[in-house]
Amino acid sequence: MTQIADRPTTTPAPEPSVSPSIDTAWLGEYLLGQWAEARHTSRALMALPEFQRQEGLSLAEQRQRVFGQLALLVESKGVHRAFPKSLGGNEDHGGNIAAFEEIVTADPSLQIKSGVQWGLFGAAVLHLGTEKHHNKFLPGIMSLEVPGAFAMTETGHGSDVAAIGTTATYDEKTDEFVINTPFRAAWKDYLGNAAIHGVACVVFAQLIVAGVNHGVHALYLPIRNDKGEFLPGIGGEDDGPKGGLNGIDNGRLHFDHVRVPRENLLNRYGDVDENGVYTSSIASPGRRFFTMIGTLVQGRVSLDGASTVASKLALDIAITYGSQRRQFVAGSPTDEEVILDYGRHQRRLLPRLAQTYAMSFAHEKLLTAFDGVFSGKRATDADREDLETLAAALKPLSTWNALDILQEAREACGGAGFLAENRFTQLRADLDIYTTFEGDNNVLLQLVAKRLLTDYARKFSKADAGTMAGYVAGQVNEAVVNNFGLRRLAQNVKDFGSTSRSVGNVQSAAAQRQLLTDRVHTMVATLAANLRPASKLSPADAAALFNRNQNELIEAAKAHGELLQWEAFTDALAGIDDADTKKVLTWLRDLFGLTLIEKNLAWYLIHGRLSSGRAQAITRYIDDRLLPRLRPQALDLVKAFGFTPELVRAPIASGAEKIRQDEAREYYREQRASGAAPVLEKKPRR
């Protein structure tokens, strides 16, 4: 396989003779965010060979190695940050997630296996149980004495948890719950720790008391004895090899009228007393369900962060290699070009680098919101709703982007990128599932869109175009919206002949914010108008109307998520004092913002927000101005990610490629100097 590159940029834009110099040490700490110490501690552990993925193992060997690594995490006290201080934890929710995300650098299987044990199984007991459950069950979970599974997903219901088929029926004669999977589709499936290692689980089931279904609740359920055999009434299967994450023993569980004590109901939000009376502090069944599920939002938060870490790692490898690998003579008759000097190579990697910085800054906001809710510092119902919406908006973007970045980084490294030793292929295989667990991305985006529509209905149900324009103007600060409504926003501005003057009207932060914000609000307003008749239709017709607009719902939510990322990047610039670092990061933010606009030029043209001339100018500005400015900064921008060689572990990013290239160049130089170089059959034209 040959590394192919296009011709280098022939007419780069004039730039200052002295390129800005990034303060990489400071920027690295800034990127690590509020919980930098937890990230440093986790990275130090992941740099140790005993935590890292080992190639060439069988399925059984991979599973056993990862299970053994969980014990090493316990020994290092690396997994107890979120648990109560009374049980040896730190009650540090943000630091716990930050440290967990960095485990992806060692092995995503280890990260997710530890997430199953402590972030799902343990967290369910912590957040859905009460103090008696904490004292009884958490010590064994924290020490790994009790490995466990999180039995929510069923073969027939993944994202639609409210419709699961497993039941937990209260038997008042014995004061027990009877747990049953009444049909094959109700089997609990894809559960980490279920195939081999789990000896207990938290099972989610429809809670039935005195013939009344009170909706989905969670119960603690032992599933295996000391010999690893299933307990009576419990059965299961191994899911077998998967497309990735094969260090995790995913499996299925099913229950045939299995009895557990009434006290095993995790009863923080719903309880059954000894008289068989159900009570809950939340009267609404729907609100109760979403409150319970919302306590487990940390899975989505951590996947957003882990995907960002993996994206940083991929770009570190690809940009380091691209700055050393040479291919094709172009500007020099003798020396081949560094492939990162080719315009196309910059186009492939640098916008994705900008995307990753945006993901990183947006994730810090998400993690801060998460810590605020779970620490109790900012934990109103509105705070919880905002956290759930933010997580549902960002997790799809980051997980999809991580796959895209890993694939493009792999291709940008040619055949070398396809070698297992350089990590791209395995990381991509392992992260593939991130897009569908902890909530399928498309389903999550529908939740975001519904929230946007709800907010719109509260503010603009009777608003005219002028009101909408005024609201958007308020959202974009200094941006000015004319009095004729948003649809004429850009049509009244004359285009100019030069690229710099034309783009100058849309390259500022205010203009980028205005265009990105306007797109979100226009899409939401259009959806609201399209769906307004639903309230007067039959249920079947209303569902059909919703279905016809489903794609637009998801696109609006994606646009909202991208706006959140852009806003987070822009807010982060305000915290940078060093002038050169701020200048380079501003260029990178502009690359992110203008690339978003460029990606959606069809929408901006159709809706009259940009003229064709200005649309073309945006692309030229990216290619002729931003990419050449950022090319000299690329290595420093990935150096700021702070990955040591022990964390990178990719030979093509080790400096070996530069040694090879320098050796080859010196060989040909000596040939030319000595006169020993063979004469070409036909001299190239000059």
Hey, where are the domains in the chain? Answer: 24-143, 151-284, 297-439+643-670, 440-639
Q: Apex CA 130: angle with CA 129 and CA 133, to 5°?
A: 70
pLDDT in tens, 515-546: 999 999 999 999 999 998 888 899 999 889 98
Tokens found for residue 606: 């159709």
State in Å, rounded, how far the first CA of the chain is from the last one. 30
Which residues face 179 on adjacent strands?
A: 168, 258
640 vs 32: CA distance, rounded Å: 10
Whether 497 shows a pLDDT value over 90: the answer reads no
Note the helical H segments in 376-482. Answer: 381-412, 414-418, 424-431, 441-460, 465-475
DSSP state of 215: E
In CATH, the number for domain 151-284 is 2.40.110.10
Tell which CATH architecture fits domain 24-143. Orthogonal Bundle (1.10)
593-610: average pLDDT: 95
290 vs 304: CA distance, rounded Å: 21
pLDDT in tens, 176-209: 999 999 999 999 999 999 999 999 999 999 999 9
- Residue with token string 């923080």: 268
270 vs 71: CA distance, rounded Å: 34
175 vs 130, 172, 200, 264, 275, CA distance in Å? Answer: 19, 5, 21, 11, 9
320 vs 293: CA distance, rounded Å: 42
CATH 1.20.140.10 fits 440-639, yes or no: yes
Look at residue 452 and give its three-state secondary structure. Answer: helix
Is this structure's pTM higher than 0.95? no
Work out the burial of residue 645: count CB atoms within 10 Å of its CB; fewer than 13 is exposed, 13-18 middle, 19 or more buried. Answer: exposed
Tokens found for residue 137: 């069950």
pLDDT of residue 78: 84
- What is the number of other CB atoms lying within 10 angstroms of the CB of residue 40? 15
530 vs 1, 467, 547, CA distance in Å? Answer: 50, 19, 11
Tell which CATH architecture fits domain 297-439+643-670. Up-down Bundle (1.20)
pLDDT of residue 12: 42
pLDDT of residue 332: 76
Q: Mean pLDDT check: name the lowest of 147-156, 417-426, 472-481.
A: 472-481
Residue (of 151, 35, 148) closest to 82 by Cα position: 35
pLDDT of residue 159: 82
392 vs 329: CA distance, rounded Å: 48
590 vs 516: CA distance, rounded Å: 12
Q: Which residues contact 520 (CB under 8 A, 6 or more apart)?
A: 452, 556, 559, 560, 563
- Residue with token string 């995913």: 250
- What is the number of other CB atoms lying within 10 angstroms of the CB of residue 323? 18
Look at residue 444 and give its three-state secondary structure. Answer: helix
Percent of the chain with pLDDT over 70: 90
- What is the number of other CB atoms lying within 10 angstroms of the CB of residue 670? 11
576-588: average pLDDT: 97
Whether 161 shows a pLDDT value over 60: the answer reads yes
Q: Do domains 297-439+643-670 and 440-639 have the same CATH topology?
A: yes
- Could you tell me which residue, 466 or 386, shows the higher pLDDT? 386
Whether 661 shows a pLDDT value over 70: the answer reads yes
89 Rama class: left (phi>0) / alpha (psi -120 to 50) / beta? beta
Q: Mean pLDDT check: name the lowest of 115-129, 356-370, 444-458.
A: 444-458
DSSP state of 227: T
